[in-house]
């Protein structure tokens, strides 16, 4: 019999198995699994109530001495983790390529397993011969759960043992919330990546929706964090605000730093297919997958079923294209002075040609106008603000192309042309509140 809640898409790839019949750290293990977005299976022969966690599945097996052990051993595989005090089960898990830890958070390995199995057999023989009474190890006390959950750091320590840990670089109070900067080692880019994360006061009480902001050419997370002016409104509306970098950093690939509009600071939110960019410049996959999972690990209060996306210039292009391609992920889209059609402007032609090659048919999935022509839609509509004193308006941004594509396709678009405003963060900060309120209404 199984009782299982739906596991969200952003869960980690591993599964945590608990030999639950005599496990004193079930509650602590569930908290660890929730923190790391890990599916957990509690296996027993009855007598347990299903935990109130979307990550937990209660598996009840038929009664029998080894029924729970056999169920786990038959299903566990490489990358998974088992929490058990049963040494033979731990041995079977290791042989299946999985990890095993005991109730105090100590990891089993081949050497310790061999020693413990030998000691177990010796103790069994001594008891059978009547040469000793009692037995068992050190009893579990009230501190066992604390030792497990804090001392071992369970899932994160074992499942990420080869990764540089995520690190909180800074945190500042702002309008009752917390403005943070995090770094982590990215598997998508193969580099260390940084992101800004604002958590509103409401994050202390439960899940909060997320606004994902993509920055423009040459920027990092710091531009919008320091100059975007979003914190007050996010605090009021109960919105988290997530701002990643614009490209991998620290690679020094040939030509990577030669110009402001290609390479470092100019990832264009694509997954590159051309060498030498294809291994590291995977910003689409990073932004729509790994970033969100890592941010949710840093802040479990993030509601990844309730996300809007916005951005500026190159980041506006990213918001439009990723939002249109992933309506399952993003409920609302807005943009500040976006590159409306990279296929038809010098910035876009240089970037898409360099990252994707000369076949312009491959460019269409990274062009908002082409995506709309090909059937992509955002049912909640799209909001765009564009300054009419923007120095890049006619050559690079071309909002009239987006306007015409939306008109022909019947895609709802609200395009505000703002007299006297340029391409700077003065423009963005002026209209940031309008965008946040518009997005919030759709979350």
For the stretch 152-183, pLDDT in tens is: 344 444 444 445 678 999 999 999 999 999 99
Which residue do the tokens 């917390």 mark?
178
pLDDT at 7: 52
What CATH fold (topology level) applies to the domain 2-159? Rossmann fold (3.40.50)
Q: How many DSSP H helices and E strands does the chain contain?
A: 15, 15
Which range (82-86, 133-137, 401-405) has the least confidence?
A: 133-137
pLDDT at 68: 92
Q: In which element (H, E) is residue 191 found?
A: none
- pLDDT digits 0-9 by tens, 15-74: 899 998 878 888 888 877 776 678 899 999 887 888 878 888 999 999 887 899 999 999
Taking residues 342-360, what's their average pLDDT? 98
Does the annotation count 390 as an active-site position? yes
Q: Which regions of 167-207 does DSSP assign to beta strands (E)?
A: 167-174, 177-185, 192-199
Residue 366 has pLDDT above 80, yes or no: yes
Which pLDDT band holds residue 367 (cuts at 50, 70, 90)? very high
44 backbone dihedrals φ, ψ, rounded to 5°:
-155, 175
Mean pLDDT, the chain, integer: 88
Ranges 34-48, 89-103, 223-237, most confident: 223-237
pLDDT in tens, 112-142: 776 656 655 555 555 565 544 444 444 444 4
Q: Tell me the CATH class for 167-441.
A: alpha beta
Question: Which is the catalytic residue, given 36, 280, 423, 435?
Answer: 423
In the predicted structure, residue 203 carries a pLDDT above the cut 70: yes
- Domain range summary for the chain, segments of one domain joined by +: 2-159, 167-441
Q: Is the pLDDT of residue 300 over 70?
A: yes
DSSP 42-97: EEESS--PPPS-TTEEEEEPPSSTTHHHHHHHHH--TT-EEE-S-HHHHHHHHHTT
Catalytic annotation present for 261: no
pLDDT of residue 169: 96
Catalytic residue check, 258: no
Compute φ and ψ for 284, nearest 5 degrees. -65, -50
What pLDDT score does 54 carry? Answer: 80
Give yes or no on whether 2-159 and 167-441 have one common fold: yes
Give me the mean pLDDT over the 292-319 stretch: 95
What pLDDT, on a 0 to 100 scale, did the predictor assign at position 104?
76
Catalytic residue among 80, 152, 390, 435: 390
List 12, 149, 152, 313, catalytic entry: 313
């Amino acid at each position: 019999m199984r009782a299982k809640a739906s596991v969200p898409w952003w869960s980690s790839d591993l599964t945590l198995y608990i030999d639950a019949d005599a496990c004193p750290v079930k509650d602590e293990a569930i908290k660890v699994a929730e923190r790391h977005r890990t599916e957990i299976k509690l296996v027993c022969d009855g007598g347990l109530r299903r935990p109130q966690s979307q990550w937990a599945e209660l598996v009840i097996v038929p009664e029998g001495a080894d029924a729970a052990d056999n169920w786990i051993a038959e299903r566990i595989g490489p990358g998974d983790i088992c929490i058990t005090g049963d040494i033979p089960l731990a041995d079977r898990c290791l042989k299946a390529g999985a990890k095993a830890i005991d109730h105090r958070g100590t990891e089993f390995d081949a050497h310790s397993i061999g020693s413990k199995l030998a000691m177990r057999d010796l103790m069994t023989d001594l008891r059978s011969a009547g040469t000793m009474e009692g037995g068992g190890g050190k009893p579990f006390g009230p501190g066992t759960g604390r030792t497990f959950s804090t001392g071992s750091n369970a899932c994160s320590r074992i499942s990420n043992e080869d990764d540089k840990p995520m690190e909180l670089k800074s945190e500042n109070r702002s309008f009752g919330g917390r403005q943070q900067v995090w770094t982590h080692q990215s598997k998508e880019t193969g580099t260390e990546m940084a992101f800004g994360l604002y958590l509103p006061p409401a994050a202390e009480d439960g899940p909060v929706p997320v606004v994902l902001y993509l920055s423009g050419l040459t920027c990092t997370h710091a531009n919008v964090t320091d100059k975007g002016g979003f914190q007050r409104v996010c605090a009021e509306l109960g919105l988290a605000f997530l701002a990643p970098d614009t490209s991998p950093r620290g690679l020094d690939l040939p030509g990577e730093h030669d110009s402001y509009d290609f390479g470092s600071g100019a990832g264009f939110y694509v997954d590159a297919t051309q060498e030498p960019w294809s291994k590291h410049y995977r910003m689409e996959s990073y932004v729509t997958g790994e970033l969100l999972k890592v941010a949710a690990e840093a802040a479990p209060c993030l509601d990844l079923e309730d996300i809007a996306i916005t951005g500026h210039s190159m980041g506006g292009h990213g918001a439009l294209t990723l939002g249109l391609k992933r309506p399952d992920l993003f409920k609302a889209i807005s943009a500040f002075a976006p590159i409306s059609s990279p296929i038809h402007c010098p910035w876009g032609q240089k970037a898409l040609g360099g990252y994707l090659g000369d076949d312009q048919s491959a460019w269409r999935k990274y062009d908002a106008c082409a995506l709309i022509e090909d059937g992509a839609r955002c049912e909640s509509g799209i909001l765009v603000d564009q300054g009419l004193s923007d120095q890049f308006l006619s050559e690079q941004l071309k909002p009239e192309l987006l306007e015409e594509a939306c008109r022909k396709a019947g895609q709802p678009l609200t395009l505000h042309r703002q007299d006297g405003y340029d391409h700077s963060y003065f423009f963005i900060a002026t209209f940031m509140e309008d965008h946040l309120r518009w997005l919030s209404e759709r979350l």
